[in-house]
Structure 1
Amino acid sequence: MQESQQNIQRYEEYEIDLRELLRTLMKNRVKIVLITSLITIGAVIYAYMTPKTYQVKAIIKIGEYKLANANANDNANAKVVIANASELSKELEILFIDILKNDKDREAKIDLLKKQKNFLEISAVGSSNKVASSELKKVIDYVQGNHKKILDDVKNLREAQAQQIEGKLTLLKNKTLPALLDKINRYKKDITIYETNFLDVQSNLKKIKEINPTLATIQINEQRYLADMLIKLKDSLEGFENEKNNIEVVQIEKYEEELNALKVLMKPYNYKNSEVIGNIMTNDYPIAPKKKLIVVVAFVTGLILSIFIVFFMEFIKGFKEEEKEA
């Protein structure tokens, strides 16, 4: 029974307190409306006076060039990406964000860099789409300009390699091979002469063997000399012919294959500079200020603040009355 009376008493006290709060709010409703309205109107003025900020975006695909040699079947489609997306992102962040962040005269700035494998998303903000796009274009031009230099270096290197191979082919075809053919022809003639002399000595040896043994001995020595020379000449001839075959079948063919492979790699379609995927993306509406959000937040803040001020003033007022009564 006692607990029930206590609960009723607490409820009555709570009801009284709630009524007092409502009376306070109703009594000061003009102040609440006034404060809330002032803050809200201030927010509206701020939202409409603040310069608009537009954002534009572009997705860049990092360029590449073909690496594989025509003979490298396993890597027939191997390609080299010009730059690492992460490293490129850091470079652009330093050049276009960190270094320029204190430049107060800039109408636009690079806002964000996102990297994903061989792609890079760049966004810029400015007072208009045109200004922001112009700032973004600077970054794109920088990337494409640097990457074009890299591609040009690769092309120049391959052109130099092609010229070097062409020089080797010219040397082999116009100097080394003709000189080798002259040697082979001379050796063939020498072998023919030595073979004729050998047969003559052999024929004479049969005739004079019994007639003049001393002369026969000289002829035998000469025959041996001719036989040794024939062996040496034929060995040398065989070496020259092997060298000639190696040049014609192996070296020239190898250099021609390398040259053809380089010429294929030097075709324009094997080089691709960094490029923007699609077009630069713009938005008809600014990203800032967010007028509706600012007004709503200001209204809620103003309402809460005005209620707090009213209750605080009532608290001070009540505190002073208690001091007077005391």
Structure 2
Amino acid sequence: MANKELQYQEDEIDLRQLMCILLASKKLIVVTTVIITLLAGIYAFTKTPVYGASALVEIGKYKTHKDTISLDSAPKLANKLNVVFASSTTDNGTNRGTITEISASAVNTHINITAQALSNEAAAQKINELVNFIKTGHQQDLDKIKRQRELEIQNSINNIDRKINKIIDHNLSKVETNIEHFFSIELASIDRKIDFIKKTQLPDLTLKIRLFTQRIEKAEETLKQNYQNLKALESTPVLAFLRLTEIQFLENEIFEHRNRIIDLKTTKSELSITQLKDLEDVKTKLMQIKLPQLESEKTLIENDLQTLVSEIELLLLEEHHYKNSAIVGEVATSDTPIKPKKELIIAVAFIAGLMLSTFLVFLLNAFKRPEDEKAAA
């Protein structure tokens, strides 16, 4: 039992003894820690500072009449650039700058780029070089897409031009011919008939009625005189018979003239009331029904032409909807270098020096000979 207690006491760590060992070697600990900390400080303050820059790049795109299409996806572009610029991530030219990260942003149309160099200008220049590389490749894609799109647009415009020419040569020309025929033939024919009735037939009938009326008046005057002279000729039967014959002729003439006037008035009434009214009605119907139909048909054709012209204008406007990749805003830089981190280096060196010196003290103490310990005691 006593042996076990002795063994247990030997296995226990004597903290007081450890503190004595550390205090006995405090100079070594302080000197070692200070030297390591000073060396770390010298390194931190003499190390050439490295500056960082970052940029958000929007991937190029182009717009069609339906939607907007990106030239590349952000993850795919980031992976490709990481492969192409993998060698630049090794520090083989810090003076010129190195690309440290190329990653896709949360938005699938942007990528993040970070670079390091001995100055902000060099880091920004490195990012600009990468962006120019992206823009060169995407510009080639845009030129190819633009040429293809221009060819498609030109083909579409040619097809629309053919439709326009067909509409103008057939539909529009036909309706314009019909309108011209309406005015020059149909309407003009009715106007000529109306003018002929108003300016020729009706005045002619009026004149004939007046002439026959004058003849009746003249015949009645002659008839009156003959009746007056008939009494004076009663003694002369032959002359009386001749006068009676003349009177009979005049009465027949007056009767015929009156019948003729009735016929002329009937004809005049038919012309002015029936034929003229019918012609006016036909003209009114043509002006109110047929002409609006022709004009409406022409308007529809012109609207179709304007729609086709608008389609051409929209196709031509699409040529401007192309955008190459570019930095959003400006390259972000900071006046504070990212390397070396002086405070961190000195703090880590101090802790490491303290730990190393403590370990060294315990190591030296472990290899001391018993006589040295007695001498020290």
Match of 1:147 among 132, 138, 142: 138
Number of residue equivalences: 244
The CA distance in 1 between the partners of 2:368 and 2:129, in whole Å, is: 64
State the Cα deviation string for residues 189-213 of structure 1 (Å, max 9, x = none): xxxxxxxxxxxxxxxxxxxxxxxxx
Q: Say which of 49, 71, 81 aligns to 1:92.
A: 81
Q: Which residue in 2 is equivalent to 1:188?
A: none
1 CA distance for matches of 2:112 and 2:83?
A: 16
Contact 2:52 2:115 in 1 (8 A): yes
TM-score normalised according to structure 2 size:
0.55
Q: 1:122: which partner in 2?
A: 113
In 2, the alpha carbon distance for the partners of 1:39 and 1:163 equals: 76
Residue aligned with 2:103, SS: strand
Quick one: distance in 2 between partners of 1:103 and 1:294?
20
Q: TM-score, normalised by structure 1?
A: 0.63
Shift of 1:295: 0.7
- What is the distance in 1 between the residues matched to 2:101 and 2:41? 29
Q: Alpha-carbon deviations, 1:48-103, whole Å to 9, x = none?
A: 2222111000011222222234xxxxxxxx2111210011101111222x144568
Q: Percent identity?
A: 29
The answer to whether the 8 Å contact 1:169/1:252 transfers is no
User: Is structure 2 residue 77 aligned with structure 1 residue 104?
Assistant: no
Structure 1 position 146, deviation (Å): 2.3
User: Residue 134 of structure 1: CA displacement?
Assistant: 0.8
Q: Cα gap change, 1:146/1:252 in structure 2, threshold over 3 Å: closer, same or farther? A: farther
Amino acid at match of 1:308: F
- Residues 320 and 143 of structure 1: CA distance in aligned 2, closer, same or farther (over 3 Å): farther
Which of 319, 327, 335 aligns to 1:276? It is 327
Question: Which residue does 1:165 correspond to in 2?
Answer: 156
Asked if 1 retains the 8 angstrom alpha-carbon contact of 2:59 and 2:110, the reply is yes
What are the superposed Cα offsets for residues 280-309 of structure 1, whole Å, 9 maximum, x if unpaired? 100111111111111111111111111111
Structure-2 residue corresponding to 1:37: 34
Instruction: Note if contact 1:36-1:303 (Cα within 8 Å) is conserved in structure 2.
Output: yes
Letter in 2 for 1:263: L
Per the TM alignment, residue 42 of structure 1 is displaced from its structure 2 partner at its CA by 1.1
Structure 2: tracts of 5 or more residues without a match: 178-297
Relative to structure 1, is the Cα distance of residues 180 and 119 closer, same or farther in structure 2, using a 3 angstrom cutoff? closer
The CA distance in 2 between the partners of 1:271 and 1:150, in whole Å, is 11
Decide which structure has the larger Cα Rg and report it. Answer: 2
Aligned position for 1:222: none
Given the superposition, is the C-alpha separation of residues 138 and 310 from structure 1 closer, same or farther in structure 2, using an over 3 Å criterion? same
The separation in 2 between residues aligned to 1:46 and 1:115, in whole angstroms, is 36
Instruction: Please list, as runs of the form range in 1=range in 2, the aligned pairs for 1:1-326 lying within 5 A after superposition.
Output: 17-69=14-66, 78-96=67-85, 98-101=86-89, 104-107=92-95, 108-116=97-105, 117-171=108-162, 178=169, 256=309, 258-266=311-319, 268=320, 270-318=321-369
Residue-by-residue CA offset, 1:205-240 (whole Å, 9 max, x unaligned) = xxxxxxxxxxxxxxxxxxxxxxxxxxxxxxxxxxxx
Query: Aligned-residue CA RMSD in angstroms?
Result: 3.7
Q: Counterpart of 1:317 in 2: which secondary structure?
A: coil
SS in 2 for 1:90: helix
